[in-house]
Structures are given as structure tokens and as C-alpha cells.
Amino acid sequence: MQRLEGLTADLREQLLADRRHLHRNPELSNDERQTQAYIEERLVAEGMHGHRRVAGYGVTLDITGERGNSNRKVAVRADIDALPILEDSGVAFTSANSGVMHACGHDAHTAMVLAAASHLHRNRHQFSGTVRIIFQPAEEAEPLGGRRIVEEGLLDDVDAAIGIHVDPYLDAGMIAVAPGPYTLASDIFDLVVTGVAAHAAKPSDGVDAITAACAIVGEVQKIVSRESDAYEPLVVSITGIEGGGSYNIVADEVRLKGTIRSGSLATRRRAQDRLKEIVSGLAIAHRVTARLSFIDGEPPVVNDPELAGIVRAAAARLLGDGKAVAGTGWTAADDFGFYCEKVPSVYFRLGIRNEAEGATYPLHHPKFRIDESVLPLGAEMIIESALQAVSAE
């Protein structure tokens, strides 16, 4: 069994400094220029050379152990992008990029993986096998970075992949992991409903696109509430609606958008098919035309049982029994699902909830905060899990 000592004091301090720098300087998906440059600077400062840019604004680096004997290679992924949210967390290192915020913890993920990479590099003479570090852009928005990582072949020679996510619903210092499905697939759709404009005093001269759109919004809810098994995960959400512009004109166009989140391929396709049928039928009934389009997004994250066992064992060694829990899966999506489709993978969650620290708000919330005291634990979980995964037969 391959083991390393815990993070040194200087790496713990640097982890915190990295997280705060990244939090203060967030960048949106597919625009992570300065984040990429900072990651490269940190790798070089630690003596890690040979990194390369991938998937647009991503960075990857292989750290190869020098003890020999293992030909296995394990990928460790950190997502690096932020969200279009105006921060209201109250932390001293709040976002300097107004309207952009690390409200999903990707700054913490990046800092933990930087610390893990530094520790592995410093101690490469003590382990065998290769750990491929992947700092991945664009987890939050299309074009998704996870898809690009797979398309660019970064997992073609990898035996397994590991991902981590902070969890504001789990008490600080707890680890959640379980085999099987762990997040949902997420697809997006756009719908344009077109009618005929008319004076609001005489709507019969036109075809009201708003009325038709409202009927569609109401009917779509039945896909989940009346047509789906309660034990089969499915969430359909209309997340945007825009149309009209004048008090006295019947709107001739309405644009809607939304998401379909599902736990299986069959449910995913059934929901899409039913949405098409509902839109088509109501368009006829309301005498409008409707143009519906889909973009298939992230597949579900599905944890490999053996790797989930490795993470649970790592948590037991680092924390003692009782600190690792199965945890329920998330209805949220994560493009780590693309990794899971390619190689055996595991995605585990690090509890960051601490009422005393104000770390109680959910992901994607303007007041989202993290209990930073647990971040070294996250880095050590990554190190421990990766070392055991490269040792596995």
C-alpha cells in the first residue's frame, strides 16, 4: 500500500493563498485566461515542468513516481471556471470581477489539486505509477470542457479518473461517496413560439404567442408529475421566458429555454420525445409555429464500485471510521460524467458546511461560502486515493 505523509505547513499555507487568489479573480467558462496562466505559474514555481495547455484554457501535467513497478496511470480532475453571479458572500477576498463569482467551489477544487500535485511531485521518489493532473475549463457552460478533454484523447491512456466536489449540505470534514449513479445527466433546450402580432384591443386579428407559450409551460410539468416513475430521477425546468415588448401589441414571438435532468438514457430520451410531442400538439391547438432544439449536455456521473471503495478506505485511514458516508446522489449535473463514460471513475464530495463560519448557503448562491479549514483534508484525500488507484491490480 502506497502512503505519503500529510501536507507540509508551507503547502497548507499555499493552498489557502491559491484558493483566495482564485476566488478574488474568477473567470467564466471558456474564458479562463488568467486562471490558466496562474496555474502554470504555480506549477513552475513548484518545479513542475512539462505541462501543456488543453481544451482551450485547461492545463495538464503528468507526475510519474520513481519507485517503478506500476504502469498504471490515474487522472485527477479539477474544474476551474466560475459563474455569472454577483457575489454577496461577505468574505474579505470577494470577487474583483463584478458579476462573476466562484459560487460552486471550483476555486477550492483547483487549489486542492494544486496542493496535491505539489505534494506528489515533491515525494515522487516514494511512489510508483503516474498521476495525470487535469485542470479543466468550462464545467459550467457549453462547449463543455469535460467533453473536450475526452475528445482530445487525454483519457485514452488512463486507467481511472478521480474527481472531487465541495458539498455545502454535508458537515465540514465529512466525505461522501457511493458506487453507482451520483449525479444526473443535464440537457438544455431552446424553444421559439411564433404567432401573429395584432393590436391588443383586437387580439382576434392575430395569434397570441404568449398564450401558447404559457400553455406549453403548464403542460410540460406533467412529464414529471404525471408520466414518470417517482423512483426514476427526472427534473424538467423552464428557466427562461422572453417575449413581447409593448402594452398594446399582442406578441408574435416568445423564446423559452430550460433543462432536462435525468438518471438514465431511457428517461433522457423519453423526456425529450414527450417535450417534442407536447410542443407540437399545443402549437397546432394554438395556431402557432414552434421551433424546438436540444443540446445534449453532461451524462450522469456513475461511480466505479472498486474506486468508490478506495475513496472510502482513504477516508477511514485519514479520518477514522464514521467520517465517510454514502450520501445521496445529486440532481445537479457535472461534466465529470464524460470521464465516467470513458474510464472507471469516482467522484466524491467534501463536506464544507459550518454554521459558525457562515458556510450554509447552497451551490450557485451569491452568499456561498466555504469552511476553508477542511481544504487540506480534500487535498490529502486526492493524494491518498490516487496513490491507491495507481497501485490497484
CATH number of residue 308's parent domain: 3.40.630.10
371 in a structural domain: yes
The Cα 77–Cα 54 span in angstroms is 13
Q: Number of H helices and number of E strands within the chain? A: 10, 16
Of 389, 307, 390, 382, whose CA–CA distance to 108 is shortest?
Answer: 382
Enumerate the β-bridge partners of residue 298. 186
Q: What is the pTM of this model?
A: 0.91
Place of cell 476553508: 372
Q: Domain check: are 281 and 312 in the same one?
A: no
The Cα 277–Cα 246 span in angstroms is 31
Q: Are 390 and 74 in contact (CB under 8 A)?
A: yes
1 in a structural domain: no
370 in a structural domain: yes
Place of cell 465529470: 336
3 in a structural domain: no
**What is the span of the domain harbouring residue 253?**
185-298
Plot region of 138 (φ>0 → left; ψ -120 to 50 → alpha; else → beta) = left
236 in a structural domain: yes
Q: Domain check: are 198 and 176 in the same one?
A: no
The predicted pLDDT at position 78 comes to: 98
Q: Strand order of the sheet with strand 234-243?
A: 234-243, 253-262, 185-194, 289-298
Q: Which of 264, 283, 298 is the last residue of a domain?
A: 298
The predicted pLDDT at position 324 comes to: 81
Q: Are 225 and 268 in contact (CB under 8 A)?
A: no
Start-to-end C-alpha separation, the chain: 12
The predicted pLDDT at position 1 comes to: 60
Q: Domain check: are 177 and 319 in the same one?
A: yes
What are the pLDDT tens digits along the chain (393 aa)?
A: 676 778 999 999 999 999 999 999 999 999 999 999 999 999 999 999 999 999 999 999 999 999 977 899 999 999 999 999 999 999 999 999 999 999 999 999 999 999 999 999 999 999 999 999 999 999 999 999 999 999 999 999 999 999 999 999 999 999 999 999 999 999 999 999 999 999 999 999 999 999 999 999 999 999 999 999 999 999 999 999 999 999 999 999 999 999 999 988 899 999 999 999 999 999 999 999 999 999 999 999 999 999 999 999 999 999 987 778 887 789 999 999 999 999 999 999 999 999 999 999 999 999 999 999 999 999 999 999 999 999 866
Q: Which of 238, 263, 298 is the last residue of a domain?
A: 298
Residue 43's SS3 state is: helix
Residue 181's SS3 state is: strand
Residue type, 379: A
How many angstroms separate the Cα of 68 from the Cα of each of 122, 125, 183, 324?
16, 9, 36, 31
265 in a structural domain: yes
Give phi and psi for 255, each to the nearest 5: -115, 130
Q: Domain check: are 77 and 178 in the same one?
A: yes
Spell out the alpha helix ranges (H) of 123-203.
145-151
Q: Domain check: are 26 and 147 in the same one?
A: yes
Cβ neighbours for 354, distance < 8 A, ≥ 6 positions apart? 171, 172, 360, 371, 373
Residue 181, preceding peptide bond in cis (omega within 30° of 0): no
Q: Which of 276, 298, 320 is the last residue of a domain?
A: 298
The Cα 112–Cα 15 span in angstroms is 6
Q: Domain check: are 190 and 167 in the same one?
A: no
Give phi and psi for 52, each to the nearest 5: -145, 155
Angle between helices 33-45 and 9-24 (to 10 degrees): 170
Q: Domain check: are 277 and 366 in the same one?
A: no
CA 213 distance to own-chain centroid = 31
Q: Domain check: are 16 and 149 in the same one?
A: yes
The Cα 155–Cα 343 span in angstroms is 7
Q: Domain check: are 13 and 136 in the same one?
A: yes
Indicate which CATH number applies to the domain containing 262: 3.30.70.360
The Cα 349–Cα 168 span in angstroms is 10
The Cα 254–Cα 194 span in angstroms is 7
Q: Hey, what's the cell of 201?
A: 384591443
Q: Domain check: are 15 and 123 in the same one?
A: yes
252 in a structural domain: yes
The predicted pLDDT at position 393 comes to: 61
262 in a structural domain: yes
Q: Are 163 and 330 in contact (CB under 8 A)?
A: no
Q: Domain check: are 176 and 190 in the same one?
A: no
Number of domains in the chain: 2
Q: Domain check: are 135 and 206 in the same one?
A: no
